[in-house]
């Protein structure tokens, strides 16, 4: 069981908005930047959000994120079939001195 | 644009050492910011960070507690690459192994395509 907790799966219709949560502790999310990664089937993870809420160049503005206390949230609006993927949150844990990843959320776009 | 290219065997026998190398293009292993990481992924463990090396006036190596006693991550400045050695492997170490670059904020912004390493006799 991952220290960073994500819902295992979510589904939504094309065009809708979905939010993916990532719950942690003060030693990780509470004190360090959170990143979000998109992993399409059979492909390496891709960074879609860094430093809590910033988008790398090339990532559509349909992707946004926020953080509050010990939780982080990724939001995707105007869902497209190409957004169907697994999404992971990631952050450093200051107590464990290790990088942590969430268990992943499999997003299905119906 | 950073490009990472991993090499190494896809099959390792139990109790032996898993060795992988990650060649870097578009950046330097000796850069003064960010780090060079190894991450693995399996159905049972999910995404698991293994360790990293980085240069900040001197070389540092940091490892996950789960593998700390049997892992080495080393830079190779002459070849602009870094390596992973995981000793005394068991079938539980079977996974897709990725090398990845992380930026100053700790975000993994470049990944290689990954290599499936099977630990089996």
Mean pLDDT computed over every residue of chain B: 96
Q: What is the pLDDT of residues B40-86, one digit of tens each?
A: 999 999 999 999 999 999 999 999 999 999 999 999 999 999 999 99
Taking CB atoms and an 8 Å limit, are A101 and B47 in contact across chains?
yes
Which residues share a beta bridge with A4? none
What is the distance between the alpha carbons of residues B93 and B98, in angstroms, rounded to a whole number?
13
Q: What is the pLDDT of residues B19-31, one digit of tens each?
A: 999 999 999 999 9
Q: Give the contacts of B27 (CB within 8 A, at least 6 positions apart).
A: B2, B101
User: Is the pLDDT assigned to residue A1 strictly greater than 90?
Assistant: no
B107: which chain A residues are within 8 Å (Cβ-Cβ)?
A: 33, 35, 47, 50-51, 90
Taking CB atoms and an 8 Å limit, are A35 and B47 in contact across chains?
no
What is the distance between the alpha carbons of residues B119 and B121, in angstroms, rounded to a whole number?
7
Percent of chain A with pLDDT over 70: 100
Task: Identify the pLDDT of residue A63.
Answer: 98
Q: Does A75 touch chain B (CB under 8 A)?
A: no
Q: Does A95 touch chain B (CB under 8 A)?
A: no
Task: Identify the pLDDT of residue B94.
Answer: 97
């Amino acid at each position: 069981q991952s220290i960073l907790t994500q819902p295992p799966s979510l589904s939504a219709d094309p065009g809708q908005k979905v939010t993916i949560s990532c719950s942690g502790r003060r030693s990780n999310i509470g004190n360090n930047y959170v990143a979000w990664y998109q992993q399409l089937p059979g492909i390496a993870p891709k960074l879609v959000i860094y430093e809590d809420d910033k988008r790398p160049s090339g990532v559509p503005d349909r992707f946004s994120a926020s953080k509050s206390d010990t939780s982080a949230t990724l939001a995707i609006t105007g869902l497209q079939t190409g957004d169907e993927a697994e999404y992971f949150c990631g952050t450093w844990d200051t107590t464990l001195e290790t990088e942590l990843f969430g268990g992943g959320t499999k997003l299905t776009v119906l | 644009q950073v490009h990472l290219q991993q090499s190494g065997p896809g099959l390792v026998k139990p109790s032996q050492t898993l060795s992988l190398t990650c060649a870097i293009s578009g950046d330097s292993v000796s850069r003064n910011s960010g780090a060079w990481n190894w991450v693995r992924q399996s159905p049972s463990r999910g995404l698991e960070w293994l360790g990293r090396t980085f240069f900040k006036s001197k070389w540092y190596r940091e490892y996950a507690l789960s593998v700390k006693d049997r892992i080495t991550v080393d830079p190779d400045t002459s070849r602009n690459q870094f390596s992973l050695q995981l000793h005394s492997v068991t079938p539980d170490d079977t996974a897709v192994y990725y090398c990845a670059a992380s930026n100053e904020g700790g975000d993994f912004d470049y990944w290689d395509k990954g290599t499936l390493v099977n630990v089996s006799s």
